[in-house]
Structure 1
Amino acid sequence: MSSTIEQRGRSWFHALAGAAAPVGGLPQDGLPTSLLVADAELAGQPVRYLAVVVDAGNPFPRARNGEVGLLEGWGLAKAVDEAIQADADSPHKRALIAIVDVPSQAYGRREEAYGIHQALAGAVDSYARARLAGHAVVGLLVGKAMSGAFLAHGYQAQRLIALRDPGVMVHAMGKAAAARITLRSLEELEALAASVPPMAYDLDSYASLGLLWETLAVAEIAQPTAEDIARVQDCLGQALADIAGGAKDLRGRLGATNRAASSRVRELLRAQW
């Protein structure tokens, strides 16, 4: 049985989408049951909510706990592409709200054999093309945002909003895996993370890299209250207003103290190329 934290994506999807009819969800629609999609309205604008959720019946065992696998990667690409195509001639393109609670990409031999790298790249490409086509893209972090799963679902957003809670973590890999890779104990890894922000898992360290637009505290993150929902909706609306008329790229992430080297590298590359 999945834990409460693993169900945060589902809880927030239903909280924000409300009574909106889901898009897809049946085999003939081409979207897996592990992907929730719904069109609604937020702050007077059309939006499409997307969330990868736990599916105990997923035909790929390594993608049954909210991981982003083959079906999820291609499903996200399809759901985003449909929005791009439907709004191609519309002056008011719907915003894409990625609700993020993903523990990792799916690790398995079948995933590698069938090209999970292509499936996840397809999702990244669709989100990026949507952003460049004029769709506002916002990522709402309500749980784990880990590894290739986060890169595929949420990381292409112009604005990233994270709910303040110990269960909301951002990193390239889980602590146990990071400890093995760096040949350290968990205690040693945490000590290292205290002085090296990119190695840390907490939101403040991640925010110091300039990647978070806003952090938000709520009363009940696992089962949001009406007040929690209203507060998050207001923040999402502010993000959409902030995006409107602005740059379509991700330059807003640069400028933070701990991104000084990134900015300098870009300057040198522009000068040489």
Structure 2
Amino acid sequence: MTKSLNGKVALVTGGSRGLGAVVAEQLADRGAAVAITYAASADKAEAVVAKLKAKGARAIAIKSDQSDLASAKPLIETVIAEFGQLDILVNNAGIAIQGQLVDDPELDGDKYNRQWQVNVLGTIANTRAAALKLSDGGRIIFIGSLLGSYVPFAGVADYAGSKTALVGYARGIARDLGPRNITVNVIQPGIMPTDMAADVAGELPDRDAILNMHPIRRIATLEEVAETVCFIAGPSAGYITGETINIAGGLAI
């Protein structure tokens, strides 16, 4: 694998598990120094860092609760203090709360409001803090969801809305940061084999029925989603900005 990201520093939020951990590893494989964040999974985060260091990469884990908007500035300052720069921000951290209809009399508003806090306001806070420090020619990548563009079943309105909000925000800051040659894009995976997907699997319709909607009848692998993230983070994607890229086996066509 070519070291296309040699000399670059990447921050992957929510990098202790799932897609974030695979993205961190693939960025490191391409030569980047990598910081990951975690909210509670310290052991998992340190295991990811140990794996990256074993590959010869510089890596750190930073405890940062994205639901606390005041955590954003110290997070970015910690990355700069450790590595001296920030070139790539992968906004991966988020939560999935699904299953209740909007007219459900038992709708847990506080729980769903926290999802907006983490997925949207927390992500925006991190992005604002990073934008002040990001190197010219840098990359901002949001991990969205196909549900941000296409909703094939009920009970996901708030989650889908939180991901759609990121699309509009990304397009706006692509305009703001374009003069600095900073690209801003959204990667929208479909279903992936993650702990978060497993947590909400019982709230989804029949899995086989959903797979039957896919022209390519399988779920995405973490590796192929991470490969796309790394391409957008790399030198060949410098003229791709404000875009939304679906990795969902054609589900939305």
Q: Which has the higher contact order (CA 8 A, sep 6+)?
A: 2
Structure with bigger gyration radius? 1
Give the TM-score normalised by the residue count of structure 2: 0.42
